[in-house]
Structure formats: structure tokens, C-alpha cells
Amino acid sequence: MKRALGMGEIMIQMNPTEKGALRFQTLFERHVAGSEANTIIQMQRLGIECSFLTSVGSDEFGKVILSTLRSEGVNTEGVIEDEKNPTAVYFVQRSYPVPEKTMVFYYRKGSAASNYGPQYLKDSYFDGIDLFLVSGITPALSDSCRDAAIKAIDMAKKHGALVAFDTNIRINLLKTKENALKTLEPFIRKADILFTGAGDLSMLFDGDLEKSKESMKKMADVAKLIVFKKGSGGVEAFTGGKRYSMPSYKVPVIDELGAGDACDGAFLASYLSGKSIEESLKYANVAGAITVSLKGDIEPLPDWKAIETFLNVHEAGEKKLLR
């Protein structure tokens, strides 16, 4: 079994039962979510043995997060329970002011995860791992998180693991294009597998993939494998001078949060398991499609049986249309 290790902030998500402005919402569902954790749990559900590094508050919400990770089979040996700082919370606002689009409001300043640092890293966490995962959110949280992420990447490489990095830009954290580039450049340099999308590239460069690849080459060698997520436009991969493309699946959109993480996780799990680039892209698209059709980031993440069922029904529908 392949093994993966992730790092990042996990939060409590408060998702209203109805659509519309938050000021009119009175009922909320409590979920657990965080970009890297979503991806790691997706990988765990697809047969990769996963562990996670983060800090949570020594509070009730921290207990919920630990329970969620453990219930999914994710190793929590590297999760710190912080006695001084709280677990972060964020609120979701769906379909307002733009229909079918989601906005988020974070309450994460001074969180336990933002106080995570390199002093918590142990060499044993990296023994036998095949892949280390982090995203652009983590180094944007604080200087200590950035230092921890860089050290973790170096430790992973020392142990012979691949490094996967999703640019995953959060404008509220990074503020400007210049700061985004400065903060994320070391991670782009070190990535073996780089996930990104048009929105992130428009912040880092000019939004055009080909021009952006040239810009990244000027900084350093581009990752061995670049996965370019296009939302409803599907997903592409660039490796070895070749370009692979896979269209998306049309599904009703309930909550697009977590879809990109599901895409990352399904691609990485497939790729680590020896599947082809084309197969990995197909399964990534399916995971994203299933995730956007339901509320919550973790709950919709599919296992292999769900992916196969989705594909069987989709392909049967396509055959019926062709008759």
C-alpha cells in the first residue's frame, strides 16, 4: 500500500441549511473541512495509507476534527493539541449574491493551526512515505507555518518521497500578486507534482497556462507533472512534453467547496496506484463532480465503488443518448 502525508489547517465549517445571505440564516450544519485534509481523506478512501500534520485547539471543535480524521483511518500521530489557541471556524454563504456560487467567511486569526511550526516535525513522520502534500494556504497562514512547510518538504525529499503542491491561493491571506509570488515561489520550485488553475495563475502570472509555464521555468525547473484544473471545463495534465485533457461531467451544483481537493486526491491516489495519466484525470473529474453535487467537503468524497457506479450510470446515459 502506498503512503502519503499531508500538512495544513483543518477547520470547523458552518454550512447553512438554506441558501442566501448569512444574516438571514438561523440553522447551520456543522462540517469538518480544510483543503489538504480533504485531499488526504479522499486519498485514504481510495486506498492510500495517509497521515496528517497540523495543530487543533484543545477544545470541543478540536476533538471533532481528531475524531473525523481517525474515523476515516488517517493517522493523527502528528496532530498537536494546542492548549492556548482555538480551532478555526468558517461560515459558508451559498447562492448569494451570485446564484450557485459560494462565499466563505473565516475566523482563523490566531488559530492553533496558524501557530504550527517546524519544531513539531519529527523524522519518524516521514519514514516510508511515498508522497508529501501541502498547498499554498499553509505558508500563507503565518511565518511559522511557512517555515514548517518548507522543512517538511525537505524532510520528505530526504526520505525519497514525491512532493505535491497545490497553489491554492487565498487572496484574503496573501493580499497581493507580489506577495503571492514571493510566498509560493519556493514551493513551486520544490514541487514534483503541481496543481493549479486559471484563477491562481492570474494571481501569480497572467492567467495564460503556456505563458505561465514559461514564467515558472524562468524561476526554476517546472514540476515533473502539472495538473491544471478548469472547473466545469475539465482537467488537463502536462508531463514529459505531452498534454493530456479530460472533459468534466455535467452535474447539478449544490456546493463547489472541496471539489478541487477531491480532484487532487483522486488524481494522486490513482497516480500513486500506477494508473495512467488519462485514467487518473478521469477519476479526478468524477470525484470533483460527485463532491459539487452535495454539501460539505468531506462527506461527498467518493470511494472506488462510488466512482465506478458514477461512471457506469454516466456511460449508460451516454449510450442511451446515442441510440
Helix H, strand E, coil C: the string for 38-67 is: HHHHHHHHCCCEEEEEEEEECCHHHHHHHH
pLDDT for the residue numbered 322? 46
Name the residue with higher pLDDT: 211 or 8: 8
Give the whole-angstrom CA distance, residue 185 versus residue 205.
Answer: 12
pLDDT digits (tens, 9 = 90+) for 103-156: 999 999 999 999 999 999 999 999 999 999 999 999 999 999 999 999 999 999
Active site residues: 261
Sheet holding 193-197, edge to edge: 79-82, 49-57, 3-7, 131-135, 162-166, 193-197, 225-229, 235-239, 242-246
User: Whole-model pTM?
Assistant: 0.93
Q: Spell out a b/e string for 250-285, using b for 16 or more CB atoms within 10 Å of the CB, else e.
A: ebebbbbbbbbbbbbbbbbbbbbbeeebeebbbbbb
Residues 6+ apart with CB under 8 A from 143: none
Is-contact 128 72, C-beta < 8 A?
no
What is the domain count for the chain?
A: 1
Q: Write out the three cell numbers for 91.
A: 461560515
Three-class SS state of 162:
strand
| Domain that includes residue 72, residue range | 3-322
Give the whole-angstrom CA distance, residue 312 versus residue 180.
Answer: 41
**CATH number of the domain residue 82 falls in:** 3.40.1190.20
Is-contact 50 6, C-beta < 8 A?
yes
pLDDT tops 50 at residue 197: yes
pLDDT digits (tens, 9 = 90+) for 269-299: 999 999 999 999 999 999 999 999 998 899 9
pLDDT for the residue numbered 210? 66
Three-class SS state of 151:
helix
pLDDT tops 90 at residue 217: no
pLDDT tops 80 at residue 208: no
Q: Write out the three cell numbers for 240.
A: 514529459
Q: What is the DSSP string of 237-298?
A: EEETTEEEEE-------S--TTHHHHHHHHHHHHHHTT--HHHHHHHHHHHHHHHHTSSSSS
Is-contact 105 93, C-beta < 8 A?
yes
Q: Looking at 29-43, 201-215, 284-298, which range is the least confident one?
A: 201-215
